């Protein structure tokens, strides 16, 4: 009897300790995510993400982010002075190329930036980050942030999204979503596929488009 009790307790512990696993609510309508990460250790509400690429946080810019590793690749449509960290609001006269590959090799991006017209275009290629792993995400986020960011059907998402560098708001790329707004940015995304090479990528077009007229409502 004692051995059976220990076995039951072990099975219960393994069931409850799975980070990122979905749990149905009593009504069966919404899905809640579980995480053992405390709020003070959360990369978003706890602020730990600001230790990664510290120069960029607080800027009116966005970045590509792996939800599996929390690596970021900034998309610098708005230029900033590295000394005083203020936005450079003057004519640049050039376009620039950015992007790169995440250190873990989960994804890579090639980005062209047109500072003067306020847009960026490029492509995002998937490797390990083609799949969103909710258990890996839960290592970095508390339960509240998981429920806020992850959709009800994570199978339609990839493991990469966009994060606003000023607000830390995150939007994950989804298979059937062709575009979305994040703050004053509009992100157009188009999934592409090469069946012959068994590869997929995402074409991106990002506009910085703040409201043209004041909203007094």
Q: Which residues of the chain have pLDDT under 50?
A: 1-18, 24-28
Is the overall model pTM greater than 0.75, yes or no? yes
Q: Where are the alpha helices (DSSP H) in the chain?
A: 2-16, 134-140, 143-149
Q: Note the pLDDT of residue 155.
A: 82
What's residue 217's pLDDT?
59
- State the Cα–Cα distance between residues 215 and 217, nearest whole angstrom: 6
CB atoms within 10 A of CB 13: 9
Q: Which residue has the tokens 């506009």?
A: 207
40 Cβ neighbours under 8 A, 6+ residues apart: 46
What confidence score (pLDDT) does residue 21 get? 52
Both structure tokens of 145: 């942030």
CB 115, CB 96: distance < 8 Å: yes
The distance in angstroms from the start CA to the end CA of the chain is 68
pLDDT of residue 18: 40
């Amino acid at each position: 009897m004692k051995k059976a009790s220990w076995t039951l307790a072990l099975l219960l512990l393994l069931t409850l300790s799975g980070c990122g696993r979905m749990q149905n609510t009593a009504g069966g309508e919404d899905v809640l995510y579980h995480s053992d990460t405390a709020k003070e250790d959360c990369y978003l509400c706890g602020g730990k993400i600001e230790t990664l690429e510290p120069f960029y946080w607080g800027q009116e810019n966005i970045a590509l982010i792996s939800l599996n590793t929390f690596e970021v690749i900034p998309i610098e449509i708005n230029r900033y002075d590295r000394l005083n960290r203020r936005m450079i609001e003057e004519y640049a006269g050039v376009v620039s190329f950015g992007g790169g590959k995440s250190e873990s090799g989960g994804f890579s991006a090639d980005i062209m930036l047109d500072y003067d017209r306020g847009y960026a275009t490029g492509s995002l290629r998937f490797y390990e980050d083609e799949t969103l792993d909710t258990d890996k995400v839960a290592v970095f986020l508390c339960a509240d942030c998981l429920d806020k960011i992850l959709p009800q059907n994570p199978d339609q998402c990839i493991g990469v999204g966009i994060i606003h560098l000023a607000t830390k708001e995150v939007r994950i790329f989804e298979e059937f979503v062709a575009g979305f707004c994040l703050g004053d940015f509009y992100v157009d995304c188009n999934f592409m596929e090469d069946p012959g090479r068994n590869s997929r990528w995402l074409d991106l077009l990002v506009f910085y488009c703040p409201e043209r007229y004041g909203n007094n409502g």
